[in-house]
């Protein structure tokens, strides 16, 4: 490597890392604080060097019902993803392999339903939930998340299914396979990587969903997004315990997110950016 090229690379390294550290600083600080004692956490001169302690993690689990809320998050995120997939897979399959004149319009209509701001329908959903005893239930929140993510899931599956060569499916049909056989025996295995990344995105979105969690749930069905928000009241404010609870709430999803970043772009931009 010529020295000019190396100098450029070193400069970029410095710049790239400096920017990355500034942007991620608040998140790193949160994780760091979770290992401090409460006195260190609110010290006016921040401690960079300190003896790491796990007591906050222990305290969060002893003093709060952390696992109850974590369980709610898991059930809602995974349950809503399974429900949405069950609705979306047949639909995306039909659209990708048996398109009609209306398929394009249907897809764009699905996209347009995402333009409806959730808050515009807060009142009716709240009242319907109250009427049907769904307020503060995991079932209710699970349903909402499945519907919220359904358009994105149909879109993502559609773009993945389109990439499966048609010839494979047509050959099977010639051999007398029914559409359902075709779907289960051929398409699903072939499109499995796409289905997995679609599921990961749906789980991430449902895990981090906050609007409906905050408005429709309370102590019983609240997921982690709402549990963490309960720390915002002044009396509940302990910095390092808040940090420990937050770190536990975000860790699984940050890891999933890193694993699926490429698919995330594709899914969230409805296939416009690949």
Partner 1 sequence: MTASSIQPENDVSWRDTVAQSALRLPAIVSLFIWSIVPLLMTIWFSFRRYNLMEPERTGFDGVGNYRYLLSDPSLTSAIGNTVLLVCSVLVITIGLGTLLAVLYDQEFFGRGIARVLVLAPFFIMPTVSALLWKNMMMHPDYGFLAFLMRSVGLKPVDWFAVAPLTSIIIIVSWQWLPFAVLTLLTAVQSLDSERKEAARMDGANAFNIFRYILLPHLERAISATVMIETIFLLGIFAEIYVTTSGGPGFASTNLSFLIYRYALLEYDIGGASVAGLVAIVLANILAFFLMRSFARNLDV
CB of 27 to partner 1, least distance (A): 5
Q: Is the dihedral of CA 199, 200, 201, 206 positive or negative?
A: positive
CA angle 259, 11, 30 (to 5 degrees): 45
Report the 10 Å Cβ neighbour count for 151: 20
Options 38, 53, 71, 271; binder of partner 1; rule CB under 8 A? 271
Q: In the range 72-91, which residues lie near partner 1 by CB under 8 A?
A: 87-88, 90-91
Segment contacting partner 1 by CB under 8 A, of 54-62, 64-72, 74-82, 150-158: 150-158
For residues 59 and 87, give the distance between their C-alpha atoms in angstroms, rounded to a whole number.
Answer: 42
For residues 137 and 219, give the distance between their C-alpha atoms in angstroms, rounded to a whole number.
Answer: 10
Options 59, 74, 188, 265; binder of partner 1; rule CB under 8 A? 265
CB of 75 to partner 1, least distance (A): 16
Mask 205-244, x = binds partner 1 (CB under 8 A)?
--xx-xx--xx--------xxx-xx-xx----x-x--xx-
Options 151, 202, 217, 221; binder of partner 1; rule CB under 8 A? 151
Write the CB contacts of 37 (distance below 8 Å, at least 6 apart in sequence): 50, 53, 55, 240
Q: Does 104 bind partner 1 (CB under 8 A)?
A: yes
Q: Which is nearer to partner 1, 104 or 220 (CB)?
A: 104
Q: In the range 124-143, which residues lie near partner 1 by CB under 8 A?
A: 124-128
CB of 122 to partner 1, least distance (A): 6
Q: In the range 166-195, which residues lie near partner 1 by CB under 8 A?
A: 176, 178-179
The CA distances from residue 242 to 36, 70, 117, 209, in Å, are 11, 15, 30, 19
Tokens representing 271? 């296939």
Segment contacting partner 1 by CB under 8 A, of 49-57, 59-67, 164-172, 257-265: 257-265
| Exposure of 265 in the CB half-sphere (CA atoms within 13 A) | 7
Options 135, 202, 204, 244; binder of partner 1; rule CB under 8 A? 204
CB of 243 to partner 1, least distance (A): 8
Report the 10 Å Cβ neighbour count for 44: 4
For residues 156 and 268, give the distance between their C-alpha atoms in angstroms, rounded to a whole number.
Answer: 9
Q: Which is nearer to partner 1, 60 or 107 (CB)?
A: 107
């Amino acid at each position: 490597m010529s020295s000019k090229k190396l100098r450029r690379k070193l400069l970029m390294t410095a710049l790239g890392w400096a920017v990355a550290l500034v942007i991620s600083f608040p998140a790193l600080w949160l994780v760091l604080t979770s290992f401090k004692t409460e006195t260190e956490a609110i010290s006016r001169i921040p401690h960079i060097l300190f003896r790491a302690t796990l007591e906050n993690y222990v305290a969060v689990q002893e003093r709060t019902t952390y696992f109850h809320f974590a369980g709610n998050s898991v059930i809602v995120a995974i349950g809503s993803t399974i429900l949405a997939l069950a609705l979306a897979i047949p639909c995306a399959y039909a659209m990708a392999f048996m398109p009609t004149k209306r398929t394009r319009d249907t897809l764009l209509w699905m996209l347009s339903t995402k333009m409806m701001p959730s808050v515009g329908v807060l009142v009716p959903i709240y009242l319907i939930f109250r009427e049907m005893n769904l307020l503060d239930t995991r079932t209710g929140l699970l349903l909402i998340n499945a519907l919220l993510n359904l358009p994105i899931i149909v879109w993502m599956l559609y773009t993945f299914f389109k990439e499966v060569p048609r010839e494979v499916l047509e050959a099977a049909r010639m051999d007398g396979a029914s559409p359902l056989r075709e779907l289960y025996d051929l398409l699903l295995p072939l499109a499995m990587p796409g289905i997995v990344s679609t599921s990961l995105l749906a789980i991430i979105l449902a895990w981090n969903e906050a609007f409906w969690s905050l408005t429709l749930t309370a102590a019983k069905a609240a997921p982690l997004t709402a549990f963490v928000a309960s720390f915002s009241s002044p009396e509940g404010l302990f910095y390092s315990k808040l940090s420990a609870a937050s770190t536990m709430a975000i860790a699984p999803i940050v890891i999933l997110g890193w694993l699926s970043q490429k698919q995330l772009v594709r899914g969230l931009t409805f296939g416009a950016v690949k």
